[in-house]
Structure 1
Amino acid sequence: MTRGELERWLHSHFLKLCLPFPRIPGHIILVNAPLGMASYFSLVSHVATLGYPAHWLAGILATLCRGVLARSRAGPPTAEITDEKLAARVWPVKDVCVAPFVAEFRTLLAMWEPLLGFPMVDANDDKLLLPRREAIRNFTIKLPPNTGERMHWNPAVFVLVLKARSSEVAGGDMRRLLDDRTGDSSPAAANSRMEPRIHVVSAFTRKADATTATFWMDTGVMDGLIADGSWEAWIWRTDTWRAVQGPAPLHGDGVSVGEAWC
């Protein structure tokens, strides 16, 4: 692939992980899109072994860290990808905002960087985009009882959403709010994405008996959310894109800080 083709391809995989296409809950023959954001770094590491230049890959990752895919030709899937033509879809050029996914992405990239096979450093000093690994900590959020959802079914469809109370989700459809390609284009939605007023976490552990969610995150991000006092945590489905548990306030006794990554 050329550099532009590789960029579109990796952007497309990123968006596929962020915004799985809507599916029928519990349908046994549909693809469940079980992979979280951590799987992206295995893909990038494999691409590096194929001989693609390190500065190409570092540049693509740095773009993702900045939260806007400038002049991108990638987009999230709108249906199940069943053939090469669908996988190779080229979208019109657009600056695509992915800021709601960046806090987790930067955190995981800092954790995975030693295993990528190339450094996250180039002429623009992209290393500064990443949190220090010693500043990454394990956080646990106490959640309220769920809404009656059978959450032991297919846990791969759940994501943790950290959301400012002021950020409205029109119609309860989180995908429309997060999707900067085909979703809600209203100024309010665009502001929620760009600021961002929502952070999505795909790599987390939920304990049903204790109703807690545990995840790794840059302490700089979490300290800001906790100090703000207006943020809350939810569990959202990525097949129906509806909330199933929450809200839980991100302050006081509702959040506990655990061990550091290193």
Structure 2
Amino acid sequence: MTGSSKQTTSSSSAPWAAAQPALKQGIGAAQNLYNSGTGAQVYNDSTVVPWSNNTMTAMDKTKDAALANLNGNGVSGQYQGIINNGGYNSGQLEALNNTRQVANGSFNINEDPGFQQVVDQATNAVNGNASAAGRYGSGTNQQLLGSTIGDLGARQYQAFQQRKDAANSNLFNMGQTGFGQLGQAYSGLQAPAQSLMQVGGMDDDYAARVMNDRLRVFNENQNKPWENLSRLQAIASGAGQLGGSTTQSQPGQNPFLTALGYGATGAGLLGGMF
């Protein structure tokens, strides 16, 4: 006789009995939230902050000032005139032309009315001295008069040359000034358009933010239901792992071997012999 027996062991991984009501309540609450759409709602209104009244007023004033100074109007007309004049305003252009006349002029002592006055004064002085000395009309008187007038003419010519040299130097410097002012005038001419571009850039920025907000609403409407479903699945999956049971069967000890002292080990080694 074999005397063998079979034992069956069962185990359960069910949640703690005291926790089961809370788990059931949580799953039910999650189902209710999912069915009601809570957590999947989308804020469909715009989140774009509109321009304030002060900003809109400033934008309008900037635009009005820019339009008033475009296309030859206002400051743009003055800047265009400077550009047309080679970089000079009207006063500078007048000074430039006067300087150019001196720089390009030729010496003609008879065209200087001031010089004739000086000659008359010198002649009267020389003749007066000669007359007082009783030598008026003498050769000495005439020689002194000629020498005096000649010296005056020489000094006048030297002064003319100095003025001409200075005028040429000033003309060169004024040319450089005009060249530099051309760039400044061109920048000033563009300023109204740049102001309009700044206002336009603000409008473009606002339009881009509005469009991005529309995309946000669209994307949230597309994704929120899936996010809500994922939450429900996560809760259900987590709760599902808490239940379940296992059953294990194994042969029992042979009574005959147990009596001989082999116990369970002997049953494993010698069981096939009986």
TM-score under structure 1 normalisation? 0.13
Q: Which structure's residues are more often strand, by fraction? A: 1
- The structure with more radius of gyration: 2
- TM-score, normalised relative to structure 2: 0.13
- Is the helix fraction higher in 1 or 2? 2
Give the number of the structure with larger relative contact order, counting CA–CA contacts within 8 Å between residues 6 or more apart.
2
